[in-house]
Structure 1
């Protein structure tokens, strides 16, 4: 048996204990005092020297006895501001929950730190382990970058992994190229001129303008983007009016654009703005566009490095490797993939009979997957350093 998998299986009771403690004590956002304290305590038990980055980020550098390059292994620690619906004995007791599986990521990475620290002779270079806050809001990775986590020593390869209940627990899926989509969340505000419904010619109808914009946006992807590309444009909100006999002053639409290629993203955004200008000219309304937050870029898997890691993971017994087309969700790991060659992996965590997905209050994750995740991280880091001097 692969020695890293064997050790991960031996450490599974500890990994489960870590996961359940973090699950029962979830924290959201960039400030995670309890989670930070717990992770630092566990790392110090291994005689490691974790450093705090920002308020709640944690970095621990494991230096091999031989010189070489640096691999960054990243996990996220934050929960979501929602309640969970299950009968788990360690369920959250507050209105926050690890319904995205970041508790498992954190527990897996604690185990990774222990296995690497026990096998320091295998490391030809450095492994920089990062525990990140604030992934859900898209702030954590940018904070790490701003604080210089990709430097001193300079990171040559970054690896992240996310649990998904859509795959079996002994499965790791990977995409070549776009692993997660970019996301641009936007608001379109249409300013018209209110009037009585009996005299619509006296006003400027923002609802009518909005309907034109909505229909034009629905035709945008299939008529502007090649069928070989992927893009999803969704309008999820359309708000206007207070009375049945009054033309309102304004209408507000909100939506999101998801793509896997920056050029496709730029093309669609330019087309959206052209449609809005056309609506202004046609109906006389004032139409504005703004984005809610800094857009998440696509998490891009470097094709060469991804194929290398897939080959390395073949050493792990009973691990099923699956090549996918990438997922439509978004990840702030994309900010890191813009700066260094990176690989984002999907770890299967399916619970039989539970068909819910990440962010559902009913979702469950299978703890059987955790040794496979830990072994994959370690095996990939050690082998990549050895073979890429």
Structure 2
């Protein structure tokens, strides 16, 4: 994949001026960032413990004037850059986050740097690491002018392991001595046109929870089901009941998606009635009200259905990630800044949130901020046929890394400047 300037990627008019002050330095950094990304891509690691990835990040940050701490229960890296323009008070703090872990997917992209160890960076986290390293280098290069402090959050375990929550427990939000006033993350996307920024105010990604369900019957002979309690028909009715619950109990304006994934019985042969059936329901939701319905009322429905058929039911609710909710004020500022710098034709506001989940949600529960998607669709690939993220064929144009790093650095700088500005006062002298 060859690098192309972002204006060539949108199909819209080229902006007359690009005002991101980090762009020239980011273009110079691009070969280094691309090399880092491809190295990470070829040796992906899954979960919370990513020793090679952590070492690559530490090596990439070596020589920069950063305060660096590594995690104790996960292979995280937290780096703090203190700016010189904030004076003795230190100024405000912003946080930039990049996740680092891969997925347990066998890669089939055909790239010459493809992974061969049974894992794959199919969600673009290798680009996130390189982009965040680039942002650290760019901001460090202007640290004497930086009007505050930046926390760089390199996070393992985003793909279902709750690494963001663990890093919060280990103190990432307090790494600079005071809480950030804003937090930003950029997530690349394999099917969005190159160089296009996509975000929205409010919920942008769903929360996710799981119901683990087990129906217990008695087992028996397949020829004499009347002498047994067969849990298989109960499970079949439960699957339909779950879909009816989603369609009839969840408000249409507050969507939820419920999917039955794993489904198995303990029958050992075709003429043996199962004694038990187990299944899991993956549940996507946005509001606390819908989450309460899924957590409290859906299990009662399943237990009642089982009881009506003489079965016992065990239903366990397993919470996972909360909904990812972009702060309205910060998102408006981000959209304005991205539009000013890269052109309004490159900034898209989503009409509806996505049903996938993200554990940057834990940060956004505590710090006002924004998650932004950045298109990394390879050249010559129509969006409608591009392999989606999390698939074995997902491909990303890593020429976008210069734009990625520059945008992160600029959002951090802009956030610090806004937080450092004097508060407007009304005629009586009180802050508005």
Offset at residue 248 of structure 1 (A): 1.6
The residue number in structure 1 matching 2:46 is 28
The residue number in structure 2 matching 1:114 is 137
The residue number in structure 2 matching 1:263 is 289
1:158 equivalent in alignment to 2:189: no
The structure 2 residue matched to 1:195, chosen from 198, 210, 220, is 220
Structure 2 vs 1, CA of residues 304 and 150 (structure 1 numbering), >3 Å: closer, same or farther?
same
Summarize deviations over 1:328-357 as a string: whole Å, max 9, x none.
Answer: 211111122222222111111112326111
Summarize deviations over 1:246-276 as a string: whole Å, max 9, x none.
Answer: 3221111222000122221112232211211
Q: Distance in 1 between matches of 2:80 and 2:270?
A: 64
SS in structure 2 of the partner of residue 68 of structure 1: coil
TM-score by length of 2: 0.86
The structure 2 residue matched to 1:345, chosen from 372, 394, 399, is 372
The structure 1 residue matched to 2:387, chosen from 353, 356, 369, is 356
The residue number in structure 1 matching 2:348 is 322
Q: Distance in 1 between matches of 2:65 and 2:180?
A: 23
1:64 equivalent in alignment to 2:83: yes
The residue number in structure 2 matching 1:140 is 163
Offset at residue 294 of structure 1 (A): 4.3
1:6 equivalent in alignment to 2:24: yes
1:374 equivalent in alignment to 2:405: yes
The residue number in structure 1 matching 2:126 is 103
Offset at residue 73 of structure 1 (A): 0.4
Higher mean C-alpha displacement, 48-57 vs 325-334: 48-57
Q: Distance in 2 between matches of 1:238 and 1:87?
A: 33
The structure 2 residue matched to 1:46, chosen from 64, 68, 72, is 64
SS in structure 1 of the partner of residue 22 of structure 2: helix
Do the aligned residues in 2 keep the contact of 1:44 with 1:50 (CA within 8 Å)? no
Q: Distance in 2 between matches of 1:93 and 1:219?
A: 43
Q: Distance in 2 between matches of 1:27 and 1:228?
A: 39
Offset at residue 311 of structure 1 (A): 0.9
Q: Distance in 1 between matches of 2:275 and 2:106?
A: 37
The residue number in structure 1 matching 2:12 is none
Summarize deviations over 1:315-338 as a string: whole Å, max 9, x none.
Answer: 323571111122221111112222
Q: Distance in 2 between matches of 1:29 and 1:215?
A: 34
Summarize deviations over 1:8-45 as a string: whole Å, max 9, x none.
Answer: 12211111111111111212222222211121111113
The structure 2 residue matched to 1:83, chosen from 106, 113, 123, is 106
Q: Distance in 2 between matches of 1:46 and 1:315?
A: 30
1:279 equivalent in alignment to 2:302: no
The residue number in structure 1 matching 2:201 is 176
Q: Distance in 1 between matches of 2:308 and 2:394?
A: 47
Q: Distance in 2 between matches of 1:243 and 1:81?
A: 31
Offset at residue 175 of structure 1 (A): 1.9
Summarize deviations over 1:31-68 as a string: whole Å, max 9, x none.
Answer: 22221112111111334342212242111111122142
Query: Would you say how many aligned residue pairs link Structure 1 and Structure 2?
Result: 388
SS in structure 2 of the partner of residue 26 of structure 1: coil
- Structure 1, gaps ≥5 residues long: none
Superposition pairs of residues 221-232 of structure 1, within 5 angstroms: 221-232=246-257
Q: Distance in 2 between matches of 1:221 and 1:201?
A: 32
RMSD between aligned alpha carbons?
Answer: 1.7
Q: Distance in 2 between matches of 1:188 and 1:117?
A: 51
Q: Distance in 1 between matches of 2:222 and 2:71?
A: 58
1:243 equivalent in alignment to 2:266: no
Structure 2 vs 1, CA of residues 283 and 27 (structure 1 numbering), >3 Å: closer, same or farther?
same
TM-score by length of 1: 0.95
- Structure 2, gaps ≥5 residues long: 1-17, 421-432
SS in structure 1 of the partner of residue 94 of structure 2: strand
Offset at residue 126 of structure 1 (A): 1.0
Summarize deviations over 1:58-114 as a string: whole Å, max 9, x none.
Answer: 111111221422111010111122221122121113222211111100000110000
Q: Distance in 1 between matches of 2:246 and 2:293?
A: 10
Offset at residue 6 of structure 1 (A): 2.4
